[in-house]
């Protein structure tokens, strides 16, 4: 694949509505040909539950518990299941559907991006693998939480999920974003998932510990976000010949943020399904 220039953004820490608004603003501006393909890194304050686009809020999330624990709550533009964004590096990739990384549909593009993510994490010493496909049926309420089982081409270590990603395609442009977990926060996640009983909650919580992990669990040391970001950017360069130029949001992207942020903060968007 010939070398090409991508933009590298590190937008730091922001509230959930801003984080989702920025991803969509990048998508919209790239669709209009105003920005290059972009790899973005970001983080969340407060720690936030993000709901998949098609999930039913009232069925799966205890909004009172979210508020009591001081967590944020937002619905993503992408599908998938609920994620607690806390001690992690969040990444997003935006490129056109006809870009070589994105051609062939969702599964081939997932695999290409997963290969770069996995290579970057291996550089840190994490012996990660790429899950080959979805597992069989789901039991009880496990469908509410993203990290309960690997789906297509997710990053795992010893069968435990480390990176969860989701993708959408709009107007010929792909947005994929995902969580690279540094340390799990299982207590807060399972406190806000609706369960039929406390016994079921505890059983699924115990099971979750065997199905998900964080980088600090794997490496047995403190892990800084900066080393994750640098390793992943290097991996994209090594695998796909991408040259990253550090940049900022454009005026066009910034100009979209107020309206998009209002959308993600609205009750209509949160409760839309």
Active site (catalytic) residues: 146
Tokens representing 35 are 């920005």
Q: Is the alpha carbon torsion for 77, 78, 84, 85 positive or negative?
A: negative
Helix, strand, coil distribution of the chain in percent, nearest 5: 40, 30, 30
Closest CA relative to residue 256, chosen from 30, 51, 89: 30
Q: What kind and span of H or E run contains 248?
A: none
CA dist list (Å): 122 to 2, 102, 119, 218: 24, 23, 5, 11
**Strand order of the sheet with strand 48-51?**
72-75, 48-51, 83-85
Query: What are the φ and ψ backbone dihedral angles of 96, each rounded to 5 degrees?
Result: -70, 155
Calculate the CA 6 to chain-centre distance. 20
| β-strand partners of 177 | 92, 166
C-alpha to C-alpha distance for 234 and 90, rounded to whole angstroms: 16
182 touches 225 (CB < 8 A)? yes
Contact 215, 162 (CB under 8 A): yes
């Amino acid at each position: 694949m010939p070398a090409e220039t991508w933009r590298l953004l590190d937008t730091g820490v922001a509230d959930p509505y801003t984080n989702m608004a920025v991803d969509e603003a990048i998508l919209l501006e790239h669709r209009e040909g105003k920005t290059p393909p972009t790899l973005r890194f970001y983080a969340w304050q407060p720690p936030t539950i993000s709901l998949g686009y098609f999930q039913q809020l009232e069925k799966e999330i205890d909004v009172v518990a979210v508020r009591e624990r001081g967590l944020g709550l937002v619905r993503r533009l992408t599908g998938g299941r609920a994620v607690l964004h806390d001690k992690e590096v969040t990444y997003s990739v935006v490129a056109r559907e006809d870009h070589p990384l994105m051609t062939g549909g969702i599964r081939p593009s997932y695999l290409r991006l997963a290969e770069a993510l996995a290579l970057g994490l291996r550089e840190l010493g994490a012996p990660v693998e790429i899950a080959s496909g979805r597992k069989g049926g789901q039991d009880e309420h496990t469908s509410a939480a993203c990290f309960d089982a690997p789906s297509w081409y997710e990053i795992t270590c010893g069968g435990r999920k480390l990176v969860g990603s989701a993708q959408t395609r709009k107007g010929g442009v792909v947005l994929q974003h995902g969580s690279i977990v540094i340390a799990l926060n299982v207590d807060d996640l399972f406190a806000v998932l609706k369960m039929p009983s406390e016994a079921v909650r505890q059983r699924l919580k115990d099971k979750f510990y065997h199905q998900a992990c964080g980088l600090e669990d794997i490496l047995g040391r403190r892990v800084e976000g900066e080393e994750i970001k640098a390793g992943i950017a290097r991996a994209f360069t090594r695998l796909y010949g991408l040259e990253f130029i550090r940049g900022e949001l454009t005026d066009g992207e910034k100009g979209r943020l107020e309206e998009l942020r209002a959308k993600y903060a609205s009750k209509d968007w949160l409760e839309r399904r």
